[in-house]
Amino acid sequence: MRFCRALLCVVALLAVPGVVAAQPQPSPDEFVPVTEVPPEEQIPAINLIGAAYGFVWIVVVGYVWSLGRRMQKAEADLAALERKAR
C-alpha cells in the first residue's frame, strides 16, 4: 500500500511538467499587456508630446497666415471695386 502511494506521488510529480507543457501557448495575435512590450517597440512620451504640440503650432501659424492672405486679397479687391464704382 505504501509502495502504491509513493508510486502515485512520483507519477503525479512527473506529470506536472507534462501538463504545464501541454497548456496552449498565447497566440501572437492576442492582447499583450503594455508592460510586457519590449522597450524598443514602445514610443517615447516625448515624441508624442512633440508631435502634439508641433501639430497645434503648425495649424495655428498656418491658419493665421492663410487668413491674413485672404484678408489682404479681399481688401485689395474691395478697394479696386470701390474706386471703379466712384
Partner 1 sequence: MTRLNQIELAVAGTMLAVSPWVIYAAPHEATMGLVYKIFFYHFPSAWIYLLGAIVAGVCSAVFLFGGNRNMDSWALAAAEMTVLFGAMTLVTGPLWARKAWGVFWVWDARLTSSLIVWMVFVAYLILRRFGGPGSDKLGAGMALFGLASVPFIFVSVNVWRTLHPQTSVIPTLPVSMGRPLWFCFTAMFLLFLALLSLRARLERQRGRIEELYLAEDEA
Interface residues toward partner 1, by CB under 8 A: 34, 43, 45-46, 48-49, 51-53, 55-57, 59-60, 63-64, 67, 70-71, 74-75, 77-78, 81-82, 84-85
Provide the minimum distance between the beta carbon of 39 and partner 1 in the complex, in angstroms, as a whole number.
13
How far is residue 74's CA from residue 80's CA, in Å, rounded to a whole number? 10
C-beta of 7 vs 74, nearer to partner 1? 74
How far is residue 85's CA from residue 78's CA, in Å, rounded to a whole number? 10
Biggest CA-to-CA distance, the chain: 122
How far is residue 23's CA from residue 44's CA, in Å, rounded to a whole number? 35
C-beta of 7 vs 77, nearer to partner 1? 77
